Amino acid sequence: MDDKNKVVIEENLDPRDHRVIGRELDMFTFSDTVGKGLPLWTSRGATFRREIERFVVDTEIEWGYNHVYTPDIAKIDLYKKSGHYPYYKDTMYAPIDIDGEEFMLRPMTCPHHFELYLSKPRSYRELPMRIAEIAKLYRYELSGVLTGLVRVRSFCLADAHIVCADSEQAKSEIGKALDLIEYMAGVFGLKMGEDYSYRLSLGDRNDKKKYFDDDKAWDNSESILRGVLEERKCKFVEAEGEAAFYGPKIDIQMKKVNGTEETAFTVQYDFVMPGRFNLKYTDNNGEEKEPMVIHRSSVGAIERIAAFLLERFEGALPVWLSPVQVKVLPISEKVMEYATEVTESLKKGGIRVELDTDAESLGKKIRNAESMKTPYMIIVGEKEAESKAVSLRARGQKDLGVMSVEETKKMILEEIMSKRL
Domain count, the chain: 2
Q: In this structure, is the dihedral angle defined by the CA atoms of residues 409, 414, 417 and 421, taken in order, positive or negative?
A: negative
Are 327 and 292 within one domain? no
Q: Give the whole-number percent of the chain exceeding pLDDT 90.
A: 90
Residue 22: what residue type? G
pLDDT of residue 92: 94
In this structure, the chain runs to a length of 421
CA angle 52, 53, 56 (to 5 degrees): 90
Are 283 and 376 within one domain? no
Asked if 329 and 379 touch (Cβ cutoff 8 Å), the reply is yes
Q: At what angle do helices 43-62 and 302-312 cross, to 10 degrees?
A: 110
236: enclosing H helix or E strand? strand 236-240
Q: Which residues contact 407 (CB under 8 A, 6 or more apart)?
A: none
Read off the DSSP letter of residue 313: T
pLDDT of residue 179: 98
Last residue of a domain, one of 312, 338, 366: 312
| CA count, 13 A, side-chain hemisphere, 165 | 14
CA angle 327, 331, 333 (to 5 degrees): 105
DSSP symbols for 61-77: HHTT-EE----SEEEHH
Q: What Å distances lie between residue 235 and 177, 184, 333, CA to CA? A: 17, 19, 59
pLDDT of residue 257: 84
Residue 352: what residue type? R
The residue range of the domain holding 276 is 3-312
Are 324 and 284 within one domain? no
Are 72 and 167 within one domain? yes
With CA atoms as reference, report the closest residue to 196 among 57, 305, 49.
305
For residues 356 and 360, give the distance between their C-alpha atoms in angstroms, rounded to a whole number: 9
pLDDT of residue 343: 98
SS3 content of the chain, % helix, strand, coil (to 5): 40, 25, 35
pLDDT of residue 209: 78
Mean pLDDT taken over the chain: 94
Last residue of a domain, one of 267, 282, 312: 312
pLDDT of residue 1: 46
Last residue of a domain, one of 252, 285, 312: 312
For residues 313 and 373, give the distance between their C-alpha atoms in angstroms, rounded to a whole number: 10
pLDDT of residue 7: 46
The CATH number of residue 396's host domain is 3.40.50.800
Q: Which residues contact 21 (CB under 8 A, 6 or more apart)?
A: 15, 27, 310, 311, 314, 315
Are 291 and 244 within one domain? yes
Q: What is the pTM of this model?
A: 0.94
pLDDT of residue 8: 42
Instruction: Provide the CA 194 distance to its chain's centre, in angstroms.
Output: 19
How far apart are the two ends of the chain, measured CA to CA in Å? 36
Are 247 and 203 within one domain? yes
Are 254 and 356 within one domain? no
With CA atoms as reference, report the closest residue to 268 among 292, 238, 248.
248
Read off the DSSP letter of residue 231: H
Asked if 27 and 45 touch (Cβ cutoff 8 Å), the reply is yes
Are 303 and 400 within one domain? no
With CA atoms as reference, report the closest residue to 13 among 3, 2, 4, 21.
21
53: enclosing H helix or E strand? helix 43-62
With CA atoms as reference, report the closest residue to 365 among 388, 390, 393.
393
Q: Give the whole-number percent of the chain exceeding pLDDT 70.
A: 97
Longest Cα pair distance anywhere in the chain, in angstroms? 79
Are 365 and 285 within one domain? no
Are 128 and 206 within one domain? yes
SS3 39: coil
For residues 122 and 256, give the distance between their C-alpha atoms in angstroms, rounded to a whole number: 43
pLDDT in tens, 19-76: 999 999 999 999 999 999 999 999 999 999 999 999 999 999 999 999 999 999 999 9
pLDDT in tens, 183-219: 999 999 999 999 999 999 999 988 877 888 889 999 9
For residues 263 and 249, give the distance between their C-alpha atoms in angstroms, rounded to a whole number: 11
Torsion of CA 250, 303, 162, 224, to 10 degrees: 0
SS3 327: strand
Are 38 and 170 within one domain? yes
Are 139 and 42 within one domain? yes
- pLDDT band for position 16 (50/70/90)? very high
For residues 348 and 66, give the distance between their C-alpha atoms in angstroms, rounded to a whole number: 31
The CATH number of residue 116's host domain is 3.30.930.10
For residues 274 and 268, give the distance between their C-alpha atoms in angstroms, rounded to a whole number: 14
pLDDT in tens, 97-144: 999 999 999 999 999 999 999 999 999 999 999 999 999 999 999 999
Main-chain dihedrals φ then ψ at residue 101, nearest 5 degrees: -115, 145
| CA count, 13 A, side-chain hemisphere, 179 | 11
Asked if 294 and 224 touch (Cβ cutoff 8 Å), the reply is no
